[in-house]
Amino acid sequence: MSKYAAALDFGSSKIALAVGEKTDSGVRIVSYHDAPSAGIESGEIVNDFKVEEVVRGLVDKAKADLPEEIGSFTFGLSGRVLHSKTLPVKITRRDPSSYILEEEVRQITKARYKTALEGDEIVFEAVPQKYSTEDRIGITYDEIIGMVGGQIEVDFKLFTGRKSLLDRRVNILKKLEIMPGKAILNAIASARAVLSRPEMENGVALVDIGKGSTEVAIVKDNIVRHVAIIPFGGESVTGDIKTVANITREWAETVKLRHGRCCEEYAIENKKLVLKSENETIEGELEMSLLIRTVEARLSEILDAVRYVIEQSGYAGRIASGVVITGGVSHHEDLLQLASALLGQKVRLAAPQGSIDNGSVEDAYDVYASTAVGLVLETLDPMLSHAIDMSEEAKPAQQAAAQSIQETLFETETEPETVERPLTKRERKEEERKAKEERKRLEKERKAAEEERKKKEKKGPSFIDMLFSDDNNA
């Protein structure tokens, strides 16, 4: 098994490939390459062949950087439309006295990716918001592990989109003989790359303004609470400049990157930009004040949409850490001042600085690398995403083991489960054997805990118990 994790960001302006490895101090990005996009519009693949050719070149470059082969590739998901819904799930457990295990809870989440939806919609990301048992309500993942109970209730936030968005990426990787790994929403990946731990805990809105779209992820208590995609970004700014100045798109992009400030008050009066080609031919002229008004108007529209998303999420008054902006458009001068005024929140601009080791390759620290770097982080050390690893799903032995735990510990739930194929007689016997062993192990653990409790009761309370008892604290 390779020690490296590779991730592909299928962006509208560029396709990026990052490779990382775990270290004693975190994650180090050992390879990063990107190339201008071809065949992608607003995060959606429209020409598979062109995308395949770009990815092929990036993979060849990454392989040249590494001493060994890469296993599976994580990749990002985006598109013009993303839906979300809340889904409460109640599980009745067969053995209420057995401990609730990590694998048991993971299987509950994993099953949500089979949730039946209308049309071509599938679940891209299933994020548990809170857990409950008969005795405790609204607890966290860490709290529920090790508890006992006859029921587990989980409130999920499902983020859904068209199945074709996933399939086209998977098909391109398979044509290149690459094993698909996890599929993670771009907004979640960018959040992981640029947000600090205090921000994720206290509440923050991540805004990634890319070429074709603007993606928003709201994180609080280290849980993704909301994700939305606004269907315009930096390309909309370029298009407006092209129209008002009557110039080519190439010139409009150049002018935007070199002179596109966001606040008209900083414009130099009567300054005019004269656009000349290499042979000194005048390609166009543009008043600086008009350029800045154009940029400010479109970015204000984007930020107004961001504010609306935050308000609609219900977290407008609950993001103590404010707003963090990343993506290529964050290079615009005066964006920080404009965003602070329009969003009514404290704002900072961010790139993947503190999330990766200092020994990472230089390009990985740029705002353009946020999504690719975040995809690597969520592959090696998952924190925000609960995406399924498709390379693990392809292993029959692991599928059987997971199904064994599912059938042993769960009795009924609110959603019917689907099984891809009927099990053979031999597989069924093997599962029954494993289930029997699991029950014996759990019963042994329960008896050991009960014996330990009885021993403590015979000995009486210790000094530490008395020191922190309710009576002494009263």
Is 369 a member of any domain? Answer: no
Q: Identify the pLDDT of residue 416.
A: 37
Is 381 a member of any domain? Answer: no
pLDDT at 338 exceeding the cut of 60: yes
Range of the domain at 287: 198-349
Is 451 a member of any domain? Answer: no
Q: Which two tokens stand for residue 103?
A: 């694998």
pLDDT at 287 exceeding the cut of 60: yes
- The Cβ of residue 332 has, within 10 Å, a number of other Cβ atoms equal to 23
Is 17 a member of any domain? Answer: no
For residues 4 and 66, is the Cβ–Cβ distance under 8 A? yes
Secondary structure, 3-state, the chain? CCCEEEEEEECCCEEEEEEEEEECCEEEEEEEEEEECCCEECCEECCHHHHHHHHHHHHHHHHHHCCCCCCEEEEEECCCCCEEEEEEEEEEECCCCCECCHHHHHHHHHHHHHCCCCCCEEEEEEEEEEEECCCCCCECHHHHCCCECCEEEEEEEEEEEEHHHHHHHHHHHHHCCCEEEEEEEHHHHHHHHHCCHHHHHHCEEEEEECCCCEEEEEEECCEEEEEEEECCCHHHHHHHHHHHHCCCHHHHHHHHHHHCCCCHHHCCCCCEEEEECCCCCEEEEEEHHHHHHHHHHHHHHHHHHHHHHHHHHCCCCCCCCCEEEECHHHHCCCHHHHHHHHHCCCEEECCCCCCCCCCCCHHHHCHHHHHHHHHHHHHHCCCCCCCCEHHHHCCHHHHHHHHHHHHHHEEEECCCCCCCCCCCHHHHHHHHHHHHHHHHHHHHHHHHHHHHHHHHHHHCCCHHHHHCCHHHHC
| Higher pLDDT among residues 126 and 69, named by residue | 126
Is 221 a member of any domain? Answer: yes
Q: Distance from first CA to last CA of the chain, Å, rounded?
A: 55
- pTM summary value: 0.81
**What span, in angstroms and rounded, lies between the C-alpha atoms of 138 and 251?**
54
**What span, in angstroms and rounded, lies between the C-alpha atoms of 230 and 309?**
9
Q: Identify the pLDDT of residue 430.
A: 63
Q: What is the mean pLDDT of the chain?
A: 86
- Please report which confidence band the pLDDT of residue 271 belongs to, taking 50, 70 and 90 as the band edges: confident
For residues 164 and 148, is the Cβ–Cβ distance under 8 A? no
- Please report which confidence band the pLDDT of residue 468 belongs to, taking 50, 70 and 90 as the band edges: very low
**What span, in angstroms and rounded, lies between the C-alpha atoms of 183 and 386?**
10
Query: 52: Cβ–Cβ under 8 A, 6 or more apart, which residues?
Result: 172, 175, 176
Is 359 a member of any domain? Answer: no
pLDDT at 467 exceeding the cut of 90: no
**What span, in angstroms and rounded, lies between the C-alpha atoms of 428 and 431?**
5
Q: Identify the pLDDT of residue 471.
A: 40
In degrees rounded to 5, what are phi and psi of residue 363? -65, -20
In degrees rounded to 5, what are phi and psi of residue 368? -70, -20
**What span, in angstroms and rounded, lies between the C-alpha atoms of 127 and 158?**
6
Is 236 a member of any domain? Answer: yes
- Give the CATH number of the domain where residue 223 resides: 3.30.420.40
| Higher pLDDT among residues 407 and 124, named by residue | 124
| Higher pLDDT among residues 286 and 61, named by residue | 61
**Tens of pLDDT, residues 52-103:** 999 999 999 999 999 888 888 999 999 888 999 999 999 999 999 999 999 9
**What span, in angstroms and rounded, lies between the C-alpha atoms of 166 and 45?**
10
Total domain count for the chain? Answer: 1
**What span, in angstroms and rounded, lies between the C-alpha atoms of 211 and 45?**
14
| Higher pLDDT among residues 206 and 281, named by residue | 206
Q: Order of strands, edge to edge, in the sheet holding 323-326?
A: 223-230, 214-220, 204-209, 323-326, 347-349
**Tens of pLDDT, residues 353-391:** 888 999 999 999 999 999 999 999 999 999 999 999 988
For residues 371 and 18, is the Cβ–Cβ distance under 8 A? no
Is 262 a member of any domain? Answer: yes
- Please report which confidence band the pLDDT of residue 332 belongs to, taking 50, 70 and 90 as the band edges: confident
Crossing angle of helices 102-111 and 396-409, rounded to 10°: 100
pLDDT at 417 exceeding the cut of 50: no
| Distance, C-alpha 6 to centroid of its chain | 15
